[in-house]
Structures are given as C-alpha cells and as structure tokens.
C-alpha cells in the first residue's frame, strides 16, 4: 500500500488518486509505531481509537466532497508535536513531569495543521525545557538514533526528529532556540527548517528563551518542509513577538548564487575527519549547481553564539522555570538545573552590556551577509556517543552548537539538510543560512541540493 518513505508529496498524490484511504494510511502508521517499538520517542500519544475516528471522518467528508483533498494540503498526513507545544486535552510536560499541565486550547500552529487535514499521532520527547542539543536530557528516556543507538539522537527536539526519520510520521514540529530544530536533523538524515523569529506563532509554546524561540519543522524533504511552512506561517495578532514577512521576500536565489564558507582555519570538526571531508564535498557540490564560493570571516558569528549560554541571555530561561526552581528544584534534571540556574548570576547591567556587544556583532555579520546570498556551514562538526555525552555533558553540548547557537541572536533563517554518510553509516548534515524571511529561497536551494546529493531520506531504507 504505502511503502517507505512517508513523503507528504507522494502520500497526498496517493490519497488524491484514491489509491488509498485515510483509514488505510493511519492503520499503517499504527503498525509502524508498534513495530518500531521505541517508547522513548513519545511522551504521550493520541489514542488509537481517536486516530481511527479522525481517519474515518476524513474519509467520509472526502467521499461527500471530491475536491476536499485538493483543498486540504495535509489531508490525512500523520504528524507529531514536540511536548513543549500545547495540544488541547493532552499534557504539556516540557519533559518535566512536575511542570505538566493540560491546556484547553492548542497552539495556533497545531490548529492550522489540523485545519489543513493533518492527523496528530502524539507528542514527542525532548531535552528537558528544550535545554540541550543532545537528546539525552529527559526523564522519559533517550530516543534511539535509527542509524546507531549508541549515538545521540540530537536535541532538544529528539523525539520529533526520530519519528520522522523512522517513517512513523511524515513531518513533526520542534522548536529551535539554539539549534534544536537542526542538530537532530543532522543526526537523523532529515531536513530541519528553522524559520525566522516570529514567522510561526510561538503562542502556546513553553518558552526556553522567549525572545529567540522559533517553532521548527522536521520533514524528509525540502519540498515537504515547504508544504508545512505554507500552512503554519501566519501572523498571530495575539502573539506580541509575531512578525509579518516583507512583501519583497525572495522565493529563490536564482540559478547563480553566492554562498559563504569559513576558511579552513576557522572550521572545527572536533577530530571527525570524515565530517570534514563530507563538508568539503558538499562545498564542491554547491559549486556545481550554480554557486560561487566566497570565504567569509566566521569570527563574529562564533562570538555571537557564545553569548547564548556564556552571558546574561541564559537568564531568560528562568522565565518558564523560576517558580519550579524555587519551590521544587529537584524536579529538574541536575544538568538542566545547573544550566538554567546560571541565569541568576547576571545583573541588569550585564544584560545591557551584552546588548551593546551583540549589536556590534550584528553589524559585523550584516556586512558579511551583504556580500553573499547564504552561508553554507556544517550543521554540527561531529556526532557523539551517548556515553561520551553523559560523561561530559556541557562541553560536548557546547561543541554541537558551534554552527547553530548564533542564528536566532543574529535574526537569521536556516535550513539543515542531509549531505552524506560516514563509513560507519552515521549521517552528516549541512545548513544553509540567510537573513530573516529567506525561508523560501533557502528551501528552494536545499531542494536543488537534495536532488543532486540523491541520498536516501531519513532511516527508511535501513
């Protein structure tokens, strides 16, 4: 009936052509989840009866209205939601049981997906309070990396990424403050879109750093991520951080484009020679599809990234957790508590000084971005075994954020995409970055790159 992978485009065609029904598709999803047998992917699941009821309802309305599937771009498409995003009637935990609450209303991004016909399968595991890039900081367990369970799944949106890579859902929502929508994409051979701040409403999202948080999208292909973006991107007048994109936002960089890369001396792969070679091959490939390479100064980007955890910005993470830290500090995992509690050590003066420093770095990076259409970077310099991360959780997590931490501080948009495999079979990923509201152009370029790379998507061919 449906053979892997679960790409939105192919599923929609099958449903549109009546080659299969919503009921048949969702029945297969439930079978796949049972066969995959990794409960750490999920924190809560929609009941099987509710999923089947939703499928029957969709089939009934499609039968009565033959054009419905055309009008609903996500008709019967299965998806998952990171468990720091509200879904009405389902607990929101942020991977902290003591924090859990059950909202009466879904986040607007979820409501828009459901209105477009998508079917919610469940809420996924994450690094507690979205604090981490490793996927190992949860009391609900560690989702298995489909390529090698000894290695991290990436975080903080670990369950969302694994559910897509494993072919259990066609797409998933995550969040991204420091790289949580991109590092898991690299670890799982999928696409991770980090939209511009405010493009997707963050109302109904448990904040990590509210001024920086973005809802992210995981999909198997850039085309699928574009489909989901088209549904979810909308100005939310009830979200004070929501922004409207400019009318002149470009849909493409064109057949010829300029991409920036750091000089070799400014790149760090933490001893992962295969990752370094794969990045070099990716750079060469982008030159074959019309790109002109320009070496750029990476220092201001790197310096901005360090400010996320090494300065007063970390104090913003207290916004959602301060009461819990005061009343029940043991409810947080030790590593999560240690990171967030550092926010108490900064003053208002520290925050203003950091603003001045960030403004100077922003000006420097704007000058760099004015010379190119996009940046091309490794998504992560390497990937770590779980045991290594457990032994050295903060330093290795920091290493993973080298190419991601600065993105929201500098108001950039980004797309992570697969770029090859190590000899061990572990995936490697790259990221494309551009100024705010360049998502469509980045996804267009990512789609062209995916065609040229011609790699299997996710872990669906294992």
Distance (Å, whole) CA 84 – CA 320: 11
Quote the radius of gyration of the chain (alpha carbons, Å). Answer: 21
Q: Taking Cα atoms as reference points, which of 289, 155, 260, 217 lies closest to residue 439? A: 217
Half-sphere exposure of 78 (CA within 13 A, CB side): 35
Q: Which residues pair with 79 in a beta bridge?
A: 120, 171
Distance (Å, whole) CA 93 – CA 210: 17
Q: Taking Cα atoms as reference points, which of 216, 252, 221 lies closest to residue 373? A: 252
82 is catalytic: yes
Dihedral (C-alpha) 235, 237, 238, 243: value to the nearest 10 degrees? 50
Give me the catalytic one of 82, 123, 144, 194: 82
Give me the catalytic one of 138, 180, 242, 431: 180
Q: Taking Cα atoms as reference points, which of 199, 230, 140 lies closest to residue 436? A: 199
Distance (Å, whole) CA 425 – CA 408: 31
157 is catalytic: no
Give me the catalytic one of 46, 106, 138, 156: 156
Distance (Å, whole) CA 135 – CA 35: 22
Active site residues: 82, 156, 180
């Amino acid at each position: 009936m449906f053979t892997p992978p679960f790409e939105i485009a192919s599923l929609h065609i099958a449903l549109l052509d009546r080659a299969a029904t919503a009921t048949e598709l969702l029945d297969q999803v439930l079978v796949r989840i049972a066969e995959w047998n990794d409960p750490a992917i999920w924190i809560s699941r929609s009941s099987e009866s509710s999923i089947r009821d939703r499928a029957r309802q969709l089939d009934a309305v499609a039968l009565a209205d033959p054009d419905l599937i055309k009008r609903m771009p996500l008709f019967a498409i299965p998806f998952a939601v990171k468990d720091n995003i509200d879904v009405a009637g389902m607990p929101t935990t942020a991977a902290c049981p003591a924090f859990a609450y059950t909202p009466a209303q879904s986040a607007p991004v979820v409501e828009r997906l459901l209105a477009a016909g998508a079917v919610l399968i469940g809420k996924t595991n994450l690094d507690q309070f979205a604090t981490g890039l490793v996927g190992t900081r949860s009391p609900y367990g560690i989702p298995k990396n489909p390529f090698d369970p000894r290695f991290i799944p990436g975080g903080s949106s670990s369950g969302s990424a694994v559910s897509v890579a494993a072919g259990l859902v066609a797409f998933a929502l995550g969040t991204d403050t420091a790289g949580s929508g991109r590092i898991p994409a690299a670890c799982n051979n999928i696409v991770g879109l980090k939209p511009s701040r405010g493009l997707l409403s963050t109302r109904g999202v448990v904040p990590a750093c509210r001024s920086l948080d973005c809802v992210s999208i995981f999909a198997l292909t850039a085309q699928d991520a574009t489909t989901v973006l088209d549904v979810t991107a909308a100005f939310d007048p009830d979200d004070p951080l929501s922004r409207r994109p400019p009318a002149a936002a470009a849909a493409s960089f064109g057949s010829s484009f300029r991409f920036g890369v750091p000089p070799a001396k400014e790149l760090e792969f933490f001893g992962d020679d295969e990752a370094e070679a794969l990045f070099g091959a990716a750079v060469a490939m982008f030159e074959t599809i019309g790109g002109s390479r320009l070496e750029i100064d990476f220092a201001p980007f790197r310096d901005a990234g360090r400010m996320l955890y090494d300065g007063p910005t970390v104090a913003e993470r207290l916004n959602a957790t301060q009461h819990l830290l005061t009343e029940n500090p043991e409810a947080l995992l030790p590593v999560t508590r240690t990171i967030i509690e550092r926010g108490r050590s900064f003053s208002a003066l520290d925050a203003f000084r950091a603003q001045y420093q960030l403004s100077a770095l922003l000006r420097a990076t704007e000058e760099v971005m004015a010379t190119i259409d996009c940046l091309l970077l490794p998504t992560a310099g390497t990937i770590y075994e779980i045991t290594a991360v457990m032994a050295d959780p903060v330093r290795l997590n920091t290493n993973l954020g080298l190419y991601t931490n600065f993105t929201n501080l500098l108001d950039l948009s980004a797309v992570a995409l697969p770029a090859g495999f190590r000899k061990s079979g572990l995936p490697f990923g790259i990221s494309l970055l551009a100024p705010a509201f360049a998502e469509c152009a980045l996804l267009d370029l990512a789609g062209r790159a995916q065609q040229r790379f011609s790699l299997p998507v996710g872990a669906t061919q294992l």
